[in-house]
Structure 1
Amino acid sequence: MCDFPDRSRPKTLNPGSLLLNVSRYSRPRQWGLLLLLSAVLAFVFLSVHLPGALMLGPMVAAIVFGVSRSNIRVHRLPFGFSQGIVGCMVAQALTPSVLYAFWQRGLLFVSLVVAIIVFNCALGWLLSRSKIFPGTTAVWGLLPGAASSMVIMAEAYGADVRLVAFIQYLRVVMVGFLASGVAHFSLHHALPGKEFLWFPRFSPLELGETIAIVLAGMGIGSLFRIPGGMLLIPLIAGSVMQAAGMISIVLPGWLLAGAYLCIGWMVGLRFQRDVLLSVARLIPRTIVVLLVVIGFCGFLGFLLNRFLGVDPLTAYLATSPGGVDAVAIIAAAANVKIGFVMAMQLSRMMMVVLVGPVFSKWVANRVPATGV
């Protein structure tokens, strides 16, 4: 007697089975395909004049590979080097006049950053208390920055570490695309902030000095475990040494493009299929909550524009809730006051690193036990 398949019972469909599985390819082939897809998407974004295209294209490509079970990862050393390159890029824009303006408006920056931190922690506490997110996950996930510190502290409090990391990196992706979109459709985007030259003439000595600053930042930041040190140290050292006339920072386009590519891959590959499946039911509410956070920061940008006369695009990018490297890349490609943008972004980053974890811990301790 022949056995025939039982067609009376419907087959159970696994949503994950519908996605491509690229892990069957060798790692060199995965890197090659990722590079190809990144180049195609970057070209598409460049063709529509999307600011930050050289980062956003690779980021989208990496997300595609991440959800397709890719087992490749960006090593921390090239990522740290890329952050240092972005730090030097920002240092080029931090002229003495910009630093003086930052000193004059320091109280304003601190006030805005405190408002952002308080709002995010209060929102996290409310979401945790209302059980919209499990335990204290929202408290750690919504702080705008210091992602690695938040993940470590969240684990100590028994929060869902995967969800905390997902919220943190989804914020970076959403801010990156929304900021780029705003810049694209802004009336200011027609005049680029700086021409992007792939192969400019430069002094090999000056390029060597720039790379030496980046490598020194990597070494010091890693040795002393300074949060964000691989970006901050080259930024501070580069701006001080450039202002003193000791060096001239040189960043050819091909070097910047490589740094943008690496940062885009680092963020995108965080979106692994197993993580997305484990938090699938929370994705819609996470997007809504992050839009609320971005909207609040946009409101602060509106206040900057309304009462201080800061142009809308500069104000929006300045108050965007991270990541610093992504906003820096987008600001460099748009017609904005990048010094003002980065002064505000760095104020946020340093405040979040210094007081954010302590404040989040204080809030998490006040989440009722029934919400855990």
Structure 2
Amino acid sequence: MRDTAAGLAIGAAGGLIFWLLGMPAPWLAGSMMASIAAVFLKVKVGMPDWLRAMAFIFLGIQTGTAVSWDTVDRAAHWPLSIAFLGLTVVAVTWACTLYYVKRSGWDRATALFASLPGALSLTLLLASGTKADMRRVTIAQCIRLFFLVAALPSVISWLSPPDTVSVMPDQMGSLWGVVIVVLGSTAAGYALEWLGVPAGLMLGPMLASAALELSGLISGAAPASILIPANVVLGVMIGARFSHFTFTEFREALFEGFMGFLIALVIAMAGAGVAAWASGLPLALTLLAFSPGGLDAMTIMAFSLNLDPAYVGAHQMARYIGLALLMPVVTAYVLKRMGAHVNVTSPTLPSKLDDR
């Protein structure tokens, strides 16, 4: 409890400072930066599973209640956009793997698993069956996410003129509606979690709250007061991942991590640009959807930056589920072609979203 209280207090303080400074997505980026600083100052920060679960359920509710019939109409353009996203994921993985092998001198297995854009727990599980350097894989993945959360909000804000952003729906005014959506979404989340559905703890609330919204049983978005705590919890969760590394390891890995982030960002911008041109959507929106930062972080950014969370969430969910389903087979095949040692099985798919 003491570690949890410390983590929440530090994260909230960092978010407040970023908010006062007028930074984009302040509660997420600020809490992450403050938590990382605390970790390297030897302060213990913790986050119990039940609090993580609550954050994911509330984030799923936020995303689902943002769905409207206008969203359903716009979804006709999404299959093409998701197809471009798939090509972007392949390009990011190939380019980052090539960089780590040719420029950094990493072995092929380490380079491949360090380059996969997302699903960290499954990536580490698969990497453990190979000769990949697990510490390099983990820190490369964490630093990529660090740079995405720290830098992407500013890039998005620069690309987003006021007339291209999506206006968030009005907040839910009925207490009874809030109770219905929270109970129904929680039940749906744990049901999918029990069934072993990838990202079930967040996918269930998204689907349940969207169904309630479209059916007319509830109206309006969930109260904004639940978004700030979800931001802080997620920021502390990201920061706590760095407790496994020393500051020296973090500093030495910054350059390689930054180069991986930069390669991924350039390719994501190219794919997002094509998708924006083909669908007529704002580049800022497609870039956020294409960025390999994870369903939870990118969806929170969508709310913070006043962009369409349903579009972003749908694309990030497609990327996550696609990686979870295809990664075991594809990585085994690629490593065999590369001549790297591989002993990859098809493990039980992770359903929690604390590892993007």
Note the 1:51-70 alignment, pairs <5 A.
51-70=24-43
Q: Is the 8 A contact 2:53 2:201 kept in 1?
A: yes
Q: Report the secondary structure of 1:136's partner residue.
A: helix
- 1:212 Cα shift? 1.4
Note the 1:20-99 alignment, pairs <5 A.
28=2, 31-99=4-72
- 1:66 Cα shift? 2.0
Amino acid across the alignment from 2:179: G
Moved more, 150-159 or 93-102: 93-102
Amino acid across the alignment from 2:176: L
Matched, 1:327 2:298: yes
- 1:248 Cα shift? 4.2
- Give the distance between the partners of 1:266 and 1:283, measured in 2 at CA: 19
TM-score, with normalisation over the residues of structure 2?
0.84
Pair 1:279–1:250, CA change in 2 (3 A)? closer
Amino acid across the alignment from 1:297: A
- Give the distance between the partners of 2:127 and 2:251, measured in 1 at CA: 20
- 1:69 Cα shift? 2.8
Which residue of the other structure, out of 242, 247, 255, is the alignment partner of 2:213? 242
Q: Is the 8 A contact 1:163 1:279 kept in 2?
A: no
Matched, 1:226 2:197: yes
- Give the distance between the partners of 2:225 and 2:23, measured in 1 at CA: 18
1:290 maps to 261
- Unpaired stretches in structure 2, ≥5 consecutive residues: 343-356
Task: Work out the percentage of aligned pairs sharing the same amino acid.
Answer: 20
1:144 maps to 117
- Give the distance between the partners of 2:5 and 2:50, measured in 1 at CA: 20
- 1:89 Cα shift? 0.8
- 1:266 Cα shift? 0.7
Pair 1:178–1:280, CA change in 2 (3 A)? closer
Q: Is the 8 A contact 1:222 1:230 kept in 2?
A: yes
Larger Rg: 1
Q: Report the secondary structure of 1:270's partner residue.
A: helix
- Give the distance between the partners of 1:187 and 1:53, measured in 2 at CA: 17
Q: Is the 8 A contact 1:93 1:338 kept in 2?
A: yes
- 1:204 Cα shift? 2.9
Q: Report the secondary structure of 2:337's partner residue.
A: coil
2:286 maps to 315
Q: Report the secondary structure of 1:327's partner residue.
A: helix
1:15 maps to none
2:90 maps to 118
Pair 1:78–1:189, CA change in 2 (3 A)? farther
Pair 1:209–1:162, CA change in 2 (3 A)? farther
Amino acid across the alignment from 2:161: H
- Give the distance between the partners of 1:90 and 1:152, measured in 2 at CA: 29
- 1:193 Cα shift? 5.1
- 1:74 Cα shift? 1.1
Amino acid across the alignment from 2:227: L
Amino acid across the alignment from 1:334: L
Q: When the two structures are aligned, how many residues end up with a matched partner?
A: 341
2:81 maps to 109
- Give the distance between the partners of 2:278 and 2:80, measured in 1 at CA: 12
- Give the distance between the partners of 2:169 and 2:13, measured in 1 at CA: 18
Q: Report the secondary structure of 2:242's partner residue.
A: coil
- 1:156 Cα shift? 1.3
1:4 maps to none
**1:86-117 residue CA offsets vs partner (Å, 9 max, x unmatched):** 11111122223323432x23441332122123
- 1:203 Cα shift? 2.9
**1:220-253 residue CA offsets vs partner (Å, 9 max, x unmatched):** 2432333211111111222123212234465223
Matched, 1:300 2:263: no
Matched, 1:185 2:158: yes
Which residue of the other structure, out of 213, 233, 236, is the alignment partner of 1:262? 233
**1:176-209 residue CA offsets vs partner (Å, 9 max, x unmatched):** 2222112333452599755799xx7843322222
Q: Is the 8 A contact 1:62 1:269 kept in 2?
A: yes
Q: Is the 8 A contact 1:38 1:57 kept in 2?
A: yes
Moved more, 315-324 or 200-209: 200-209
Amino acid across the alignment from 2:123: M
Alignment RMSD, CA only? 3.0
Q: Is the 8 A contact 1:55 1:264 kept in 2?
A: yes
- Unpaired stretches in structure 1, ≥5 consecutive residues: 1-26
- Give the distance between the partners of 1:187 and 1:125, measured in 2 at CA: 31
2:106 maps to 133
Q: Is the 8 A contact 1:124 1:140 kept in 2?
A: no
Which residue of the other structure, out of 141, 152, 169, is the alignment partner of 1:168? 141
Matched, 1:204 2:175: yes
- 1:280 Cα shift? 4.9
- Give the distance between the partners of 2:27 and 2:250, measured in 1 at CA: 29
Q: Is the 8 A contact 1:68 1:273 kept in 2?
A: no
- Give the distance between the partners of 2:308 and 2:245, measured in 1 at CA: 41
Q: Report the secondary structure of 2:232's partner residue.
A: helix
Amino acid across the alignment from 1:172: L
- Give the distance between the partners of 2:311 and 2:8, measured in 1 at CA: 34
- Give the distance between the partners of 1:201 and 1:240, measured in 2 at CA: 15
- Give the distance between the partners of 1:189 and 1:142, measured in 2 at CA: 34
